[in-house]
A and B are shown apart, each in its own frame.
Chain A
Amino acid sequence: MSDTPQSEPRRSDDRSGADDATAAAAAGSTDAAAAAVSSKTGGIAGPPGGPGGVDGDEPAVARTVGESDEQLQDAWTDYEFDGDAKVSVSDLDTYYGEERALESVSLDIPAESVTALIGPSGCGKSTFLRCLNRMNDRIRGARVEGRVALDDRDVYGDGVNLVELRRQVGMVFQEPNPFPKSIRDNISYGPRKHGDLETGLLARLLGRDDRDAERDLVERALRRAALWDEVSDRLGDNALGLSGGQQQRLCIARCLAVDPDVILMDEPASALDPVATAKIEDLIEELAEEYTVVVVTHNMQQAARISDQTAVFLTGGRLAEYDATDAIFQNPQSQRVEDYVAGKFG
């Protein structure tokens, strides 16, 4: 797994405005999802291996139909699974000012599994993720409509305690962002601020020093994030001295330390090298035994490898298809999703 080539996300920054360009090449069928890696600028060139002439008649259809709204069917997002939904989203609309970033997204996320969110950049994956722990509240002008339920409790309801919500729904960001503090302090930061750990002079004077508890907690979180062996002898060192991959695992450990139910990860490995990426991927699969993991990724092999179910967003903030990962990658129902996972646009 460690020699997996990092599939370079085919970013096209003005993607949201130039939809038809992306659709131009959405034609011809490539069955292997693996071909997704190859095409560099999916909008213009066809898959390098494929004969260019075959696309001849289809682009005209794909250009209009491929990106049109009619083609999406609600049935494609119905994903049946056993057990209750941990997170249930229905008719979610999100706006930044006047601009709509998500359009009536509905999906249920099963507990203790890995759910991958994929889609071209700018299609609202990060926005969707931030709706789940209300990090969008921090963005000026962001407005959320619809219902998000965590264990059947409305996340956007009145009197929801943001502190409690975010303790339950942790988040890991694209760039590793440890605090400029020691490794130990990074881990114990959350519990300390929540008052679960009391350390320091006053606590010691009052005889309520939780240093032993802190040590246990730090060790547990670091072990859980597969970082303990690498840092156990330098917990007092500044976290910024760790490598990028270690920093990202530290951020995961920091998130685990507050004992969440759901962990949201926004492209957690996209800033890392292949070896570090592989470690993060292994870790995500392991975490899914205990936690509900929702991971945004730009890397389709990654989604195929680690996730149990996959949701494909398309430009305009629509959820195109949501199904078991195998189904999405091998037998997608939507032509657009098929083209997307084949790397023809996005």
Chain B
Amino acid sequence: MGTATKTTLATGESVVGAVTSRTVLGVTAATVVLAVACLMQWVAPGGAVVGIPVATLLGGGLAVAGCGIAVLGAGSRLGYIETTPSRATSLAAGCVVGMLWAVSGGVATTVAVGGGDAWLPVAVVGGVAGALATVLPREDAGATLPAAAVIVGWGGAIAASGGGGGWTWAPAWSSAVFPGTEIVPVVAVGGALLAAWSGASAHAGFGAEGRQAGAYALVGAVVVGTLSVLVLLVGFVVLKGITPVLTGASLTGGTLGLPFVDAAVPWPTLPFVTNQTGGLYVTIPGVFPALVGTLWLVFGAVVAAVPLGIGAAVFLTEYAERGRFTQLVEVATNGLWSTPSIVFGLFGLAFLVPRLSGGNSILVGQLVLGCMLLPLVLLTCREALLAVPDAHRDASAALGVTKWQTIRSVVVPAAMPGTITGVILGVGRIAGETAPLLLVFGGAPYPSNTPDVLGSFSLMAQPPFVTNDALLAPASALPYQLYTTITAGVFPKDEFTTAAFGWGTALVLLAVVIGLYAVGIASRRYFRRKLHHE
């Protein structure tokens, strides 16, 4: 750029500007990736990548990005690069950059002087200067040069730090000690965000377009951040849990006896999922009883809550006059939804247990979870019913169809997708619920048999005519199993440690919840398909 003249720029200016801004954005992205890798401890901040020290790479990346931004800003301000800047940068950007200047100045002073109060005036002056430098000049200079100074400064500090090994930061206001190896990548990510904002704004040529591009860069970073939290969480559980879950697993190790013919075919085995947890003959303990328990719990809760919730919503929306009563019910429902789950558990323990089973039981667990699910089903179903256009009701009434038939065949089907959304959300919550299960549901910590709900129905001569011993007995569920395993401290079998079994259980729980989501979303799609032209 320095050697470029105006005449050549007249034809090549956009190319130079575009190349520079692309380079800035690319280097920034690479820096973020490397910094995240450091944070994840995939690479050591003190180590090296392709022969170059990581600290040099991080710092160098920031420095290059900062210089590129400065070049873009100066080039635009001096007229070498054609852009459409506004008269000034926004006040918000000025505040942020000013704050960064203040922090940088304060920290630099502390490091240089070593304690004392000298940092305060430096920080104040630096902050004001940074803010003014951002806000006062035309946008192409204000949005780039002060930010570039921060970025280059941080880059240089990181490169000089050698990766931050060996020093720590123990702030006075916290008992935590932050190792330099963590601070360095965090600072690098921060600098990269600033570079992304400034670089994107410059890339779009400042002005309204530039502000939009800068905002997109930040919003995009937030989205990526959110997604990576999710990926991180799931990935972590999978990494930790996959080894125990796959213990003893094989694709063809098992056999499946074919019905009617006396033969068997090879069949995949997954002992962690299909084995009992405790018992004498179990070599590889599994979570089968807990898995079955969870499925029964969710099934029972849905069966108890969904018809009730839909019925109540239909009554409130279609029959009850809007007024005090419906308002009261609405408030009560909202309150119920935000009631802590342990309170539901306590209610089950004090009220349902003595009346239904006399001890912990699947049935009471189902009912308690059903109570927790009920308000959400009611609320979402009510919203969905209110969203059904009155035109449908009018059309049906004009055909001479009764109100109840209209509700059954037109209104409720139209509200189905919305209701199912509520059920999906609610099931996600109750499937992982632990607290109430501790009080009303859980049995032996390492169950050696699976609740046989289907096979335990039996008839009798006096009311209630049907009983089910399995439903009235305690059992295990995945979150409950996880809790008991972790709190027990010692795992009774040699095969797993407590932690390994816990991670395996967590992975299975995660899979079950995701599976339930999938079922819910599939059924919602089915109803949507039926309702809408697609």
Contact = CB atoms under 8 A, between A and B. Distances in A.
Contacts of A180: 392, 413-414, 530-532
Contact of A135 (B389, B398, B405): B398
Chain B residues touching A, majority SS? helix
Contact of A241 (B389, B402, B533): B533
A94 interface: no
B391 interface: yes
A178 B396 CA distance: 10
Given A179-B410, A237-B533, A238-B533, A258 B400 contact: yes
B391 to A, nearest CB: 4
A190 B392 contact: no
Contact of B399 (A138, A175, A254): A254
Nearest to B410: A179
A189 B532 contact: no
Interface in A231-256: 237-238, 240-241, 251, 254-255
Nearest to B405: A193
A240 B533 contact: yes
Interface in B361-410: 389, 391-392, 394-402, 405, 409-410
B532 A170 contact: no
A194 interface: yes
Nearest to A172: B398
Nearest to A238: B533
Given A177-B391, A180-B414, A167 B533 contact: no
A309 interface: no
Interface string A171-186: 1010101111100000
- Residue of A173, A193, A240 with most chain B CB atoms under a 10 A cut-off: A193
B398 A238 contact: no
Nearest to A180: B531
A238 B397 CA distance: 21
Nearest to B402: A163
A170 B395 contact: no
- Residue of B398, B399, B414, B531 with most chain A CB atoms under a 10 A cut-off: B398
Contacts of A193: 399, 401-402, 405, 409
Nearest to A264: B398
Contacts of A13: none
Contacts of B534: 238
B397 A175 contact: no
B394 A177 contact: yes
A61 interface: no
B441 to A, nearest CB: 38
Contact of B395 (A162, A163, A173): A173
Contacts of A170: 398-399
B397 to A, nearest CB: 6
A198 to B, nearest CB: 14
Contacts of A165: 400
A113 B531 CA distance: 37
B399 A179 contact: no
Interface string A155-171: 00000001111110011
B400 A166 contact: yes
Given A138-B394, A179-B410, A240-B533, A189 B399 contact: yes
Contacts of B395: 173, 177-179, 251, 254
A189 B396 CA distance: 9
Nearest to A137: B397
B400 A179 contact: no
A133 interface: yes
A237 B399 CA distance: 22
A180 to B, nearest CB: 4
Contact of B394 (A164, A173, A240): A173
B533 A189 contact: no
Contact of A164 (B397, B398, B400, B405): B400
A135 B400 CA distance: 10
A238 B400 CA distance: 23
Contact of B400 (A162, A181, A240): A162
- Residue of A165, A167, A180 with most chain B CB atoms under a 10 A cut-off: A180
Contacts of A166: 397-400
A27 B409 CA distance: 54
B193 to A, nearest CB: 45
Given A180-B414, A193-B405, A193-B409, A171 B398 contact: yes
16 contacts: A135-B398, A166-B398, A166-B399, A167-B399, A170-B398, A177-B395, A180-B530, A189-B409, A190-B399, A193-B399, A193-B402, A193-B409, A194-B401, A238-B532, A240-B533, A241-B533
Given A163-B400, A163-B401, A254-B395, 15 more contacts: A164-B400, A166-B397, A166-B399, A166-B400, A167-B399, A170-B398, A173-B394, A177-B395, A189-B409, A193-B402, A193-B409, A194-B400, A238-B531, A238-B533, A258-B399
Interface of B: 389, 391-392, 394-402, 405, 409-410, 413-414, 530-534
| CB-based closest 8 A-B pairs | A241-B533, A166-B400, A177-B391, A171-B398, A190-B399, A180-B531, A238-B533, A167-B400
